[in-house]
A and B are shown apart, each in its own frame.
Chain A
Amino acid sequence: MRKLTAVAAATVSALALLTGAASAEKLTIGLASEPTAMDPHFHNLGPNNAMSVHIFDRLIAQDEKQRLSPGLAVSWKPIDDLTWEFKLREGVKFHDGSDFTADDVVCTMERAPDVPNSPSSYGTYLKGKTFKKIDDYTVHAITAAPYPLMANDISNVPVVSDSAGCGAATEDFNSGKAAIGTGPFKFSSYKPGESISLVRNDDYWGDAPAWSEVEFRPIKSGPSRVAALLAGDVDMIAAVPTTDIKTLSEKADLQLSQGVSNRVIYLHMDQFRENSPFVKGNDGSDIKNPLLDQRVRLAISKAIRRDAIVERVMEGVAIPAGQLLPEGFFGVSSKLKPEPYDPEGAKALLAEAGYPDGFQLTIHGPNDRYINDAKIVEAIGQMLTRIGIKTAVETMPRSVYFGRASRGGADGQPEFSFILVGWGAGSGEASSPLKSLIHTYDKDQGFGSSNRGRHSNAEIDATIEEALRTVDDEKRQDLLAKATEMAIGDVAIIPTHFQVNTWATKKGLKYIPRTDEYTLAMGVVKE
């Protein structure tokens, strides 16, 4: 009799497992980079932000193309030049069951810029903004000057709960005690370097995710990540190395998902020193910096075969670039196209500028930051040599590179003359690169912080600043496009290509690619 009961019990539990299998599904994802904490306000960095989206909602969400959509706020609008009003979603509950209200928003905005030991703070998004609770579901954000980017900034700040999160330390989030948000997934476990587990939030206010459980596993080595997918240890991997894309696409049991990123790869040229340290005459002597001449910069742009970089170096996985953001983003210009390859025109321009025999140049670049970065620098070196600019190439790890490129020279100035860099527009619109790369370097106002070529044009500056004051979307879009056209006309920088990101999933799954390069469990769908 007892035996029979046991068999019956086993059958029942087996049946339960089978029927449960449809809704109880686990997804395992191999990540290329790992968040440094579970505290959503600790480290303003891609991997951290991507992870926190699962657990913590923002007031305003960014979809896969970084377009803004309602999150915990159902609407937002400027009610006068200096005040933005956010209407909050009602009936939302935190993972611990408490209600979401304006108090959570106000305390979040106070905590986010000021987390102890934070290596990179969220203050960037909250500077100069004061938040005020009007009623339980209305919050005002007040600024000293008109500020159109309010919604973009706020879409980057994860909302924590007043009761559990605002007074908590980073380690409370890491232990899970304070990792309580309103997001589609709940915190389950965090083992640094090993795994991060989440479970579905069945009471989510938005679309419930398809996965009842998600495990993220950081596997930094590219070949190992690919092997883990091939071995079936993970269901999906992020950042497929370009060298493996062809082989993986031929596998019948795998599926690749690709999408353009918001990251432009570009060249920055020294435009502020009469004597640039890595530019020399053909005989090795010091010459007046030719990169100051717009014609020389244009010649260099013409000398670059963007389609060859895309085809040969990037294995087809990139898009030639003619401006700061790919098509479809807010503030891009419809008039700009990638500069066509024209070596003869380039030589003519060089001759016109007084360099018929070219000059000597060293290009610097990182070798572990962007997809195939060192190879791109080498290719560009060859292309420039072909039009007579004898180019040497030097690449180095990013840990050494960025410091030197930003302030390694005399008086804390940029050290190099000609560099390869990339820029991802975190805000998803054109003011981000314009403000940081194109605007004149201005320490006091915080403009041009990554303008390592120190290009400077008062007219462009004025247009950018006007755009940053213009709350009307239509007008701002036009101003941003105009500033971009002027910058490209000046050859302030030379865009080469936009990165395309690749995810690989096992057959039957698909990832909806994101321009911000985030890997989100919510974006993994069954086909």
Chain B
Amino acid sequence: MSSDHDHHDGNDDHELRVSKIRDGTVIDHVHGGQALNVLAILGIDGTKGEEVSVGMNVPSDRLARKDIVKVEGRELSQDEVDVLSLIAPDATINIVRDYDVVEKHRVERPNVVEGVLSCPNAGCITTGDEPVTSRFSVLEDGVRCSYCETIVRDEIASLIDT
């Protein structure tokens, strides 16, 4: 049986490395090594008692190596999914209720993300004290500040406004 058959709450050996959840979200098919960035996007740092399981660099047919993040007791907002799509464009979001997957969908890259990333350009007007919400257009291979036009291709996760 393939390790990547998406029975995230089934009995797959790899899936068993992280515990099943009762209610919450399973974020699967995250590119290997991005799980901690996923947690950063979700604002999860472990200090608030969140119940989270993480599998990193699990063998995957589709991605070769993938990460899996399971968050108990929380369903993601669309904003969170939008930002997630920037660093995990192949991710699948599985909503779990009472151990059953009740919703499953691939993330879709939005055209614009607002208020979730900070511009890395110190000369950008959004980095001062202005009453302005950051806005980035999403490119095929990165994001672009709608104000100063700076393009960021790598390290997008480091721009997350926490």
Instruction: Answer yes or no: are A and B bound together in one complex.
Output: no
